[in-house]
Amino acid sequence: MLNVPSQSFPAAGSQQRVAPTGQSRNKVALKPGHSLLDWIRLTKSGRDLTGLRGRLIEVTEEELKKHNTRNDCWTCIRGMVYNVSAYMDFHPGGEEELMRAAGIDSTDLFDQVHRWVNYESMLKECLVGRMAVKPNPALQAQTEKTESTHMNGLSVPSPLRQEPLPTPLPAKDHRPRYDWFQTDGTVNIVVHTKRKIPSAGCAVVDLQDDILQVEMLLGKMSYLLYWLFLCCPVLIVQTAHSVGKVQVCLHKSVKDKWTKVGQPLEHHDTFIQCKDRELFYRECVLVSKTDITHDTQVLRLQLPPGSYMQVPVGRHVYLKTSLQGTDVVKPYTPVDQKLIPPSQCSAEMGSDLHLMIKIYPDGLLTSHLANLPIGSSLSVGGPEGSFTMRILRDVTHLYMLAAGTGFTPMARLIRLALQDLTSIRKTKLMFFNRQERDILWCSQLDELCSKEERFEVEYVLSEPTDSWEGRRGRIDACMLQNFLERPEDSKCLVCVCGPTGFTELAVQLVRQLDFSEEEIQIFQG
């Protein structure tokens, strides 16, 4: 059974994802007693959720189509068929959303909305069986032809295989490459990405159980080096941002001359889209918790000795833990230790992760994290995501509309804009919260605003006290019209993140102000 997403970054509906406009995930208010924890309890109750009394069957396409009603709903995900009838009232997207998958292979639909969800663990008691594999007529005909091409016990030589015409090489090869060199005590792997690397970095290195993975996250593409290796800890990862070079230095366990780096494994030296790369988890240690507000903490996680992770801006990681026998997975956007840390602290992102997490009293995972003692282990997967630096190319005015913890993806964007992107003349944040005590990193935002003339922040409270002197209310066209300036000869980008209702309304209002689809980026909520 797979316990991790096998493809790409999750859901267009994830609160941590940057996605094209127009892709939102509807959420409904669940009835009392229908939370994720209640669903886990139901799956542990011994109730027959498949209607087959524990039998597993092979399901034909014709049989699958028959089970397409509210009380008899089967669906297929990656070749496995589940009876999701009992899950109807527990589904966060509601019955209507789940019925879209009734009686069909819903793999593509699932990947569009909640690819990151660990469905195999959540629906394991609903498993009906495996889809029947249809015979391939072309393959069958070829087999029959092969069997008939024997004369007097001797095989007739088959015709030469038709090779596809080679694809012309591009004028310039943009594919990364690597080389390596050694000293008596170290092995050094150098990756030439052939492009400028952001200061936040893009390298992810994991050495576990004699397996070395070196992954470069380059926009929407992933370059992977993958070896069976001699056991040796990662010494240091050095990045030359301007020339796009990353060097991984490792200790030799025995001082000796190596004739090769290691034994290449499957997918070694491959350059594919990030969404097609399998997700990898490593065990991290909870080092500290820092209260940010009355209900929000920053968790500092330390990566294992053999791991080094630079999370590109706009990318995300997954926390995974087992609760009552079910794997619960949720994406979070890393933040820096401070809003604008000293430049030399950028290396901290390689060995530590800082995750700003709001604790919900009825939240299954967040309640667990709130009670997790220091020194405990958490599985961290990723990084994942679709945000690329190309989106910010030539932008002169960066606007951010954030509500609540929708601020987390904005935090590193602010740092990027002010420290690395000199083309951006103005960065403005409009931050929506219920009360003043809910504002995340309020003092740091105010300090940054006073020191940096290119940055402005405006707070809006929906439930302010009488002493509040700032903006009041909820997002509307009037406040955005004044906030979203469009100077002459400017190129604007509006980033939006928050709860689903906020995000949908904000995007609608921004469009009404004649901002194009290319000028809007949504971190879905």
- Distance between CA 324 and CA 42 in Å, rounded? 11
Nearest to 314 by CA among 385, 419, 246: 385
Structure confidence by residue, pLDDT tens digits, 219-261: 999 999 999 986 677 778 888 877 889 999 988 888 888 888 8
Q: Is the pTM of this model over 0.85?
A: no
pLDDT of residue 27: 64
Q: How far is CA 497 from CA 45, 67, 314, 444, 504, in A?
A: 38, 38, 12, 20, 10
CATH label, 389-522, candidates 3.40.50.80, 3.10.310.10, 3.10.129.10, 3.40.630.30: 3.40.50.80
Q: Which fold has domain 36-131?
A: Flavocytochrome B2; Chain A, domain 1 (3.10.120)
Which contiguous run of DSSP H or E holds residue 223? strand 221-228
Would you give the end-to-end CA distance of the chain in angstroms?
Answer: 29
pLDDT of residue 464: 96
Which contiguous run of DSSP H or E holds residue 328? strand 326-332
Q: Which residues contact 172 (CB under 8 A, 6 or more apart)?
A: none
- Distance between CA 217 and CA 198 in Å, rounded? 11
- Distance between CA 327 and CA 3 in Å, rounded? 7
Structure confidence by residue, pLDDT tens digits, 292-346: 999 999 999 999 988 999 999 988 999 999 888 888 899 999 999 888 876 544 4
pLDDT of residue 190: 94
CATH top-level class for 177-273?
A: mainly beta
pLDDT of residue 55: 83
pLDDT of residue 17: 36
Instruction: Please state the separation of Cα 400 from the chain's center in Å.
Output: 20
- SS (HEC) of 454-488: CEEEEEEECCCCCCCCCEECCCCHHHHHHHCCCCC
Long-range pairs for 441-449: beta carbons < 8 A, 24 or more residues apart: 441/292, 441/339, 441/407, 441/411, 444/338, 444/339, 444/340, 445/339, 448/339, 448/340, 448/414, 448/418
pLDDT of residue 136: 54
How does DSSP classify residue 298? E
pLDDT of residue 324: 82
- SS (HEC) of 438-462: HCCCHHHHHHHHHHCCCEEEEEEEC
pLDDT of residue 146: 39
- Distance between CA 53 and CA 87 in Å, rounded? 17
Q: Which CATH number applies to 281-341+348-384?
A: 2.40.30.10
Structure confidence by residue, pLDDT tens digits, 89-132: 988 888 888 899 999 998 888 877 666 677 888 888 899 998 98
- Distance between CA 98 and CA 87 in Å, rounded? 9
Instruction: Count Cβ atoms within 10 A of the Cβ of residue 199 and give its class: 0-12 exposed, 13-18 middle, 19 or more buried.
Output: middle
For the chain, residues with pLDDT lower than 50 are: 1-25, 139-140, 142-171, 344-348, 525
DSSP β-ladder status, 455-461 and 471-472? parallel
- Distance between CA 87 and CA 126 in Å, rounded? 9
Which contiguous run of DSSP H or E holds residue 7? none
**Residue 417 main-chain phi, psi, to 5 deg:** -65, -40
Amino acid making up residue 155: S
pLDDT of residue 252: 85
Instruction: Count Cβ atoms within 10 A of the Cβ of residue 307 and give its class: 0-12 exposed, 13-18 middle, 19 or more buried.
Output: buried
Sorted by where each begins, the domain ranges of the chain are: 36-131, 177-273, 281-341+348-384, 389-522
- Distance between CA 248 and CA 116 in Å, rounded? 30
- Peptide linkage before 383 cis (omega within 30 of 0): yes
Angle formed at CA 523 by CA 415 and CA 22, multiple of 5 degrees: 140
Number of H helices, E strands in the chain: 12, 31
